[in-house]
């Protein structure tokens, strides 16, 4: 039986931040812990909170623009008089409000999002601090689900597929950027992650991409064009169409479903753009897949 015990939470949080420092540095993000408490003793088991906190910090680091900050903090609160301990994860550089569902996907802990102005957000996590009274069975069920979510999260499966097993053309672009410098490689991966996260949003354009990366439209063009060889607007469409091709190859979706899933206004607009990029219609690829399954 796995059951909570009353232990100090601060060392656990310090070790979590220390363990994630290499990931944060690779993303050019300053990651830190801010806490005025020297000790916070609550009933808990690490499996109940660490998986969700780890995923949240990693996701927020992924979508925070380069050279900005992510801070895990414990806001001032009277722990002895509250039923919940608040843990905050704050980022600077860009609001992550539009990515809320993406970031909180499969998170078991009670969480909510606050905007800290136009250029930042804070995710608040509620950790129960009431005395442990149960037999442990309910907590064990919750912990098993949470642990399973770490390894089977659709978000991580999707993200790994997008950034590590993408179509060779996009993967090669990332490798080329990495060869130029680690900073360029991380920048292009962030660009890809943001586009993928907004894939089904028709109105997602270069202005919104730049805002998500804390860059003006001009700055985005100057940084991205040397890495990919064409404009940011062209690249957004390029990623959409490559994802559309992946959907047609690997999923049982109609052409219309793929069109809307990749942010195109209509199936006819999607078909024209697809034919311009690949030289054949999406319906032909769909028919080929259907024949191969016979």
- If phi > 0 it is left, if psi is from -120 to 50 it is alpha, else beta; for residue 279 that is left
Tens digit of pLDDT for each residue in 15-50? 999 999 999 999 999 999 998 888 888 777 777 788
More confident residue, 220 or 8: 220
Say yes or no to pLDDT of 127 above 70. yes
Taking residues 169-179, what's their average pLDDT?
Answer: 80
pLDDT of residue 262: 95
83 by Cβ neighbours in 10 Å (0-12 / 13-18 / 19+) ranks as exposed
What is this structure's pTM?
Answer: 0.72
Q: What structural domains does the chain harbor?
A: 5-152 (3.30.565.10), 160-292 (1.10.10.60)
pLDDT of residue 140: 30
pLDDT of residue 39: 85
Angle at 292 between CA 290 and CA 294, to 5 degrees: 75
The structure tokens listed for 35 are: 């806490």
Tens digit of pLDDT for each residue in 274-291? 988 888 888 887 776 665
Taking residues 195-218, what's their average pLDDT?
Answer: 94
pLDDT of residue 146: 38
Tens digit of pLDDT for each residue in 251-279? 888 999 999 999 999 999 999 999 888 88
- The CA-based dihedral angle spanning residues 153, 154, 156, 161, taken in that order and rounded to the nearest 10 degrees: 150
Pairing, β 69-74 against β 30-35: parallel
């Amino acid at each position: 039986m796995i059951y909570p015990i009353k232990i100090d939470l601060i060392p656990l949080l310090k070790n979590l931040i220390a363990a994630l420092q290499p990931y944060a540095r690779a993303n050019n993000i300053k990651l830190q812990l801010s806490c005025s408490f020297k000790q916070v003793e609550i009933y808990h088991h690490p499996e109940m909170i660490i998986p969700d906190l780890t995923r949240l910090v990693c996701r927020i680091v992924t979508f925070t623009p380069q050279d900005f900050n992510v801070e895990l903090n414990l806001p001032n609160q009277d722990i002895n008089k509250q039923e919940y301990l608040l843990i905050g994860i704050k980022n600077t550089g860009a609001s992550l409000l539009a990515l809320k569902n993406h970031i909180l996907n499969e998170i078991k802990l009670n969480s909510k999002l606050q905007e800290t102005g136009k250029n930042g957000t804070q995710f608040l996590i509620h950790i129960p601090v009431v005395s442990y009274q149960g037999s442990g069975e309910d907590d064990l069920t919750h912990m098993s689900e949470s642990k399973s979510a770490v390894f089977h999260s659709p978000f991580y499966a999707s993200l790994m597929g997008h950034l590590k097993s993408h179509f060779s053309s996009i993967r090669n672009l990332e490798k080329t950027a990495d060869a130029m410098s680690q900073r360029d490689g991380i920048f292009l991966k962030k660009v890809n992650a943001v586009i993928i996260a907004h894939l089904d949003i028709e109105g997602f354009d270069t202005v919104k991409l730049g805002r998500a990366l804390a860059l003006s439209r001009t700055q985005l063009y100057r940084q991205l064009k040397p890495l990919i060889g064409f404009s940011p607007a062209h690249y957004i469409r390029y990623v959409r169409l490559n994802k559309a091709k992946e959907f047609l190859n690997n999923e049982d979706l109609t052409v219309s479903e793929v069109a809307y899933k990749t942010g195109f206004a209509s199936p006819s607009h999607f078909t024209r753009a697809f034919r311009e990029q690949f030289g054949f219609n999406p319906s032909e690829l769909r028919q080929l897949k259907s024949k191969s399954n016979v």
